[in-house]
A and B are shown apart, each in its own frame.
Chain A
Amino acid sequence: MSFFTVSDLSAGYGGRSVIEKLSFHLEEGCVLGILGANGSGKTTLLKAICGILPHGGSCALEGIPLDGLSPRKLARLCGYIPQRSGISIDISVLDVVLMGFNPQLGLLEAPSPKMKQDALRALELTGLAGMAGKNYLHLSEGQKQLCILARTLASGSRLLLLDEPESSLDFRYRYRMLELLRDWTAKGRRAVLTSLHDPSLALNYCDRLLLLTGPDTCRLLLPGSDPLEKMEKELSLIYGSISLHRCRERNGAERLVMLKEKEEEINAGRDENHICG
């Protein structure tokens, strides 16, 4: 049995369905990236899994169906990071992170000192050490995103759902965030499901990629093992004419690079010998 399974998931807005009968599964320790053009249903898919949007079909984590769960139980299993947090009141960064402990607390219970320690550690981990007392609203969008990540990591859930978490981060923090997610996933029975804006990031940091190519069609890629031609073909369904290249970092590690090609050259051959970097 897979760690997390999605079967026949359908959802949409006001009668118009955006995704239809989507099925896929995810093994533990795996980071699954979701790629798709604007409006292809990345956010819809994530919200449907969370149960924030009304949907058909079902999702199960380790055999536990998520649909019937109370918000409290669901929140203990899954953490969700929206594209942009809705927090719009003056509140300290530490208090935002402490919100993550809510599923473990009774209605009137206050967070314990240990939770505060955990929260501070999570802030440190995401590079926000020393910001605990700052006003959340005064942070940059990227810092806010990291703060919400700290909140989700601290909360102790097993499946993370992230909606384009890297979109407002600068170059350096994008890699840092994905590395954090990989590290987190590696430590136990956990998995990450994240939609991503940047395909290069997705190709290099995700174990699997889910391509949303139409309301009821999706394709699965394994960036580590699939041949370049296959991946290029599949990705061009989303991004138009593109080319993929393998390059090496200074230390020898292989990376995938995606380049945009001119649209009229759709059928032109790929230059195997092109060297980049």
Chain B
Amino acid sequence: MNSMKPSMALPTVNSKHLCAAGAALLAALAVVSLLTGKYPLTLEGLLAGDEMQLRVFWNLRASRTAVGIVGGFALGIAGFVYQTVFRNPLASPDVIGVSSGASAGAAAGILFLSGAAQVTLASFAGALAAVGLALALSALDKAGRHSTIVLAGIAVHSLAQTVLMCLKLTADPERELASIEYWIMGSLNAISGYSIKGNLILCLLCIAVLFLMHRQILLLSAEEGEARMLGVSVGRLRLAVLLAATLTVASIVSLSGLISFVGLLAPHGARMLTHRNDAGTMLLGGLLGGIILTAADILARSVSSVELPVSIFTSLLGAPFLIYLIVRGRKET
């Protein structure tokens, strides 16, 4: 019956309604996240101003929740930007080497520096260095084609992987190697209020910039020549947009370690729901990212007596959702 009236099968909900629903779900998950954890918090204790409970609540529980929401949101937005700019639905932060650069940086930090803050810094620097190198390499192509950036990204990605392999080889298997492996799997277990402020502020700033530049991002999705004749300085604008997207990813990933699948899946899901690329869809992509990561983190800290890598759950939650969307899409067309 649906196939008879394809246009009717598309629900009349617009992106506004979807965003409202997404925001409500995210808010509900945030509440659950605030209530889930190993330290026994009580409402009475918090209201009575128990110093320890308040500290755990604000410094640990609330910070972790904030990173889950903002981090997922950032990954969703960045994924939306990468996929649009590269006109490739499979594009993700790895296309231009962000994740592998961050991993190599974190590994170097674990080996040669000490302390969580320095590892965060090293992985942040690694991500930026990788993307900087990829963009510099692509600048060698005077025509400035998208495909050159993707190729340069693949080259840098492999290079960063090699660096990572070398670092792993020199790592002490008992401590450093374990650290590197665990970092790559990603977790929000070490998040605390003391370590996240700078990253969160940077991340939110970049997200704001990306939203303001939404119109330009759509222009970049046209062919290079076409975009140029629409008055777009393709090279410069693309550099700015990719840098902003990279900074959002790097600021989160350097705190949490790699988080798989959110950046790919969230914007894709949003597009499949709205069939658009407007700002509302971008927002919805961010909300979906936040929902997936927050839900995954709640599971990562509660299903077992120990902390589990969050990426396991982002994949386990995300994959069925995407399959559902694909199946739904098949029915519609």
Contacts and interface: CB of A to CB of B under 8 A. Distances in A.
B215 A88 contact: no
A99 B218 CA distance: 9
20 contacts: A50-B225, A71-B228, A71-B229, A74-B229, A75-B232, A76-B231, A78-B229, A80-B225, A82-B223, A86-B222, A86-B223, A87-B221, A89-B87, A89-B218, A89-B221, A90-B275, A90-B276, A91-B218, A91-B221, A102-B231
Interface string B101-132: 00000000000000000000000000000000
B84 interface: yes
B222 to A, nearest CB: 5
A14 B96 CA distance: 27
Interface string A37-64: 0000000000100111010000000000
A54 B142 contact: yes
Interface string A89-100: 111100100011
Contacts of A79: 229
Chain A contact-residue range equals 35 or more
Nearest to B240: A107
A80 B218 contact: no
Max chain B CB contacts within 10 Å: which of A50, A76, A91, A110?
A91
A21 to B, nearest CB: 23
Contacts of A107: 213, 216
Contacts of B84: 89
Interface in B222-246: 222-226, 228-234
Given A52-B224, A87-B221, A107-B213, A102 B230 contact: yes
Contacts of B213: 107-108
A154 to B, nearest CB: 12
B36 interface: no
B228 A82 contact: no
Contact of B225 (A47, A105, A110, A155): A47
Contact of A92 (B142, B219, B223, B276): B276
A85 interface: yes
B319 interface: no
A103 interface: yes
A158 B247 CA distance: 40
Given A92-B278, A99-B218, 4 more contacts: A88-B221, A89-B84, A90-B277, A99-B230
A92 B226 CA distance: 18
Interface string B199-214: 0000000000000110
A72 B222 contact: no
A266 B271 CA distance: 58
A90 B230 contact: no
Contacts of A76: 231
Interface residues of B, number: 28
Nearest to A82: B226
B231 A74 contact: yes
A140 to B, nearest CB: 16
A52 B219 contact: no
A72 B233 contact: yes
A105 B231 CA distance: 10
Contacts of A273: none
A225 interface: no
Contacts of A90: 271, 274-277
A100 B277 CA distance: 17
A82 B222 CA distance: 11
Interface string B275-304: 111100000000000000000000000000
Interface centre among B228, B230, B274, B277 (most CB of A within 10 A): B230
A90 B84 CA distance: 10
Interface in B243-284: 271, 274-278
A167 interface: no
A103 B223 contact: no
A71 B237 CA distance: 12
Interface string A102-126: 1101011011000000000000000
Nearest to B143: A54
Given A54-B142, A89-B277, A92-B276, A75 B221 contact: no
Contacts of B232: 71, 75, 102
A168 interface: no
B87 A88 contact: yes
A75 to B, nearest CB: 3
A135 interface: yes
A111 B214 CA distance: 12
A52 B218 contact: no
Nearest to B229: A80
A92 B280 CA distance: 13
